[in-house]
Chains A and B, each alone.
Chain A
């Protein structure tokens, strides 16, 4: 039989009819639809038992209790702990994004040794043994050459066992040069030292206050322990009032009951103006002033003489009647509380502002009591036996600090990291031969990025303990990566400005993912290898042992509850609360008066070349500290802040009109320290001639989601020192915005 066309067609039709009688087409359709719904490249997360590990977040000084949620062996979420006293279940945006940091491709996965030029990004993996040998060799050589004081360490904080271990190592090795990151807390500490006569950290009982007068502090932008302050702010919606004094309509200003738009840099004068009204109208707490304070008369004369509302109105641009009304409202509140430190308080600011603001708290007697400002004496958590120092150590320690802190120039200061670039760049002081950096990223966070870069370039050997390849780690010669916070056991000291002494315990939720080591262990290993007195000062086999023994009887409670809370520190008012010569709160003493009357440094640049004023602002959605924003945070940023890779600066419509700039259009921003390409966001939230730029952008390190986006404020601003404290008092810089 021949297969002609008709037969072929019949065969096909028969085939089709037959196929329709089989499951093939229906099954195939079903399978294809299932296949198309489950592309193999769309990840399917592994299932597994859901477990939780209680820990304490260590991403910022907020110290929130967190519970880390895992599915099988994967960390999938970070949530707040309901009954943790600091944050009571809340958790901030950065804390939630923690798992992205854990699994970030920017993690330093093993010890690295630089092989290319600094910042070139060429590294060679090195074993822990060889890496430690390199450091030990360096330290031994320097010590043998009597240059022990040329070794320095910059740590994120000066409290907590790891920072204290390193400080101890430096001391017995023979160097006084331990630095911690400066902030508003340093100014508060100094204010309490000058007015209360004691070394204490500040506690702000915001939850129990009924009137908060904030001088630029970003109560809901990360000032203090952010979640604690958020909760307090919410509570005040029904129980009290918040007044925000600030030149820009920040979130804190917008959410406050009242926003007092003040001329930039004049907050301190406004505080003294309020003091004038309070004293003049006899609204102050006479019990406190008479019984628990001295120096009131001197203070009164100063304030009454120089800070009449009309005068202050001229300085601050706040109408005199508003000043009077505000002073009355503040003084008549039951628990009025004044706080200070701009934004998140990343730049310490002028000491005189803090003194003026704290004087307000004293005038209303809201000190060391519920709902007030509480001076929390320095904790004695870490009580290691005095180490025996050898001759080299003693000689090294006697050399004095390279930054001048504690010298006759800055007698009350303890660490002045901001002075370091100038000291190194001018070659006026000693040099630093070896620098250790941990939990800090000075190359990004310090003002005058160029000067900082030049200073770091002078240091021959930089060892970084970074968990992430940040800007400073890129400049290092050796990276000894620390476990990141979700992988490590460590004590977390009392949260910033929290009104009680509370130690938290950060516990590993997951074993180290990479070949990293706990910095505490590395410090102990270094000490042991250096031998002699140095080794003897570290009688612990490893860091966990050290932690357990150091915390002693607190350990069990810490381990069980995740935190240890100290006894009530709000000592009832009385003699002994203040440790001044008079045993009273001091409104005036020679050091205090010098500080209060010191002239605040003006922003750099002259007004003719730079007609505008550049102010930074802080937002919770961008991490502005040493840790760069993880992708979720960058994603959350508004379109009025970031467009493509360009940051938008806030500009008043009047300024924009004068410059012929339309909303969203590119512009050039120039300051005495640098220039950048930006776009403008026209808003009535800033005063004319002010240009506001968010902090936390303009990273050159980190991943594609963050690097290269926007401008780093710190690269555009210089450092202006406070004449008394020596800390960085910069609050802005003169700038010129022009059409691109």
Chain B
């Protein structure tokens, strides 16, 4: 910054000095000289608020569309999915959760085109016929260090799928998948609200959200260090 100071010294006429060697200020009113400073301050606040609340979230997430536009609502027809969500997202014999169905499960019905939707025809053509797995983008994918047992929550805890995943069963098309450019995880983990506020239980899937429920229900509160949940309950 010294160069600016130097220039200032060179361009501006020398400020007269008083007897003590201190520069004498012009007798201009204080309000006049503070106004631009205040204005700058407010501009600073406004700009940063715009960046922080509006620009940053746009920059942070990239938008991706699912490889196939899937209609959950149509599949939830009891004639197709007698067991609701579990018809496709089932538990295996060892209690592990199957997650998103593999192509083979889809092909059980969609070996050939069943309906009239163009999307289905494309799905059958591109994936079923070629045997290529669909590269679904998983909204609820947690980092690898997280251990989560679906069966403990759904079967033993009698929780509904939508408590965490929202009422996805009524959706007629897949949402845009927003991927965090820094972490690579879905926006659903942090939540749609950039401030991290949540209204519904399914709005966010951070560690605190798990802990909140565990604490409230006094589940696995065996930790000595935190006096709360044992770390290994949810981590691996």
| Residues of A participating in the B interface, judged by any CB pair closer than 8 Å | 1-8, 10-19, 21-24, 26-28, 30-32, 34-35, 37-38, 40, 44, 47, 49-50
Contacts and interface: CB of A to CB of B under 8 A. Distances in A.
A22 B143 contact: no
A31 B143 CA distance: 12
A631 to B, nearest CB: 23
Residue of B37, B40, B180, B195 ringed by the most chain A CB atoms within 10 A: B40
Given A15-B47, A49-B96, A44 B41 contact: no
Contact of B190 (A2, A24, A27, A47): A27
A31 B180 contact: yes
Contact of B60 (A14, A22, A31): A31
B69 to A, nearest CB: 25
A52 to B, nearest CB: 10
B86 interface: no
A12 B47 CA distance: 10
A37 B144 CA distance: 10
Residue of A4, A6, A15, A30 ringed by the most chain B CB atoms within 10 A: A15
Residue of B92, B98, B182 ringed by the most chain A CB atoms within 10 A: B182
A12 B44 contact: yes
Contacts of A28: 182
A38 B185 CA distance: 11
B52 A37 contact: no
Given A7-B37, A49-B98, A50-B94, A23 B42 contact: no
A32 B183 CA distance: 7
B41 A11 contact: yes
21 contacts: A10-B40, A14-B42, A15-B47, A16-B48, A17-B44, A17-B45, A17-B48, A18-B45, A21-B45, A21-B52, A22-B48, A22-B52, A23-B52, A23-B56, A27-B194, A31-B180, A31-B182, A34-B185, A38-B184, A40-B184, A47-B99
A19 B60 contact: no
Q: Which 7 A-B pairs have the closest CB atoms?
A: A22-B52, A14-B44, A18-B48, A18-B45, A14-B41, A15-B44, A10-B40
Contacts of A19: 48, 51-52
Contacts of A6: 36-37, 40
Nearest to B143: A38
Nearest to B52: A22
Interface of B: 4, 36-49, 51-53, 56, 60, 92, 94, 96, 98-99, 143-145, 180, 182-185, 190, 194-196
B183 A18 contact: no
Contact of B53 (A2, A5, A23, A38): A23
A109 to B, nearest CB: 23
A24 B51 contact: yes
Nearest to A7: B40
Given A1-B39, A3-B40, A23-B195, A50 B49 contact: no
A88 to B, nearest CB: 23
Contacts of B143: 34, 37-38
Given A13-B44, A18-B52, 12 more contacts: A8-B40, A11-B44, A15-B44, A15-B48, A21-B48, A22-B56, A24-B56, A27-B190, A32-B182, A34-B185, A44-B144, A49-B98
B26 to A, nearest CB: 14
A16 B36 CA distance: 18
Interface of B is mostly: helix
A18 B47 contact: yes
Contacts of B92: 49
A284 B150 CA distance: 68
Contacts of A18: 44-49, 52
Residue of A5, A13, A22, A31 ringed by the most chain B CB atoms within 10 A: A22
Contacts of A47: 99
Contacts of A11: 40-41, 43-44
Contacts of B196: 23, 26-27
Given A15-B44, A15-B48, A10 B37 contact: yes
B49 A22 contact: yes
A120 B193 CA distance: 64
Contact of A14 (B45, B53, B144): B45
B144 A7 contact: no
B72 to A, nearest CB: 22
Nearest to A24: B52
Residue of A14, A31, A35 ringed by the most chain B CB atoms within 10 A: A14
Given A6-B37, A22-B56, A44-B144, A38 B183 contact: yes
Contacts of B144: 38, 44
A19 B195 CA distance: 12
Nearest to B92: A49
A44 B36 CA distance: 54
Contacts of B96: 49-50
A50 B144 CA distance: 17
A74 to B, nearest CB: 14
A35 B36 CA distance: 41
Contacts of A38: 143-145, 183-184
Contacts of B184: 35, 38, 40
A276 B86 CA distance: 77
A19 B56 CA distance: 11
Contact of A1 (B36, B47, B194): B36
A6 to B, nearest CB: 5
Contacts of B36: 1-2, 4, 6-7
A8 to B, nearest CB: 7
Contacts of A35: 182-184
B42 A37 contact: no
B186 to A, nearest CB: 12
Contacts of B183: 31, 34-35, 38
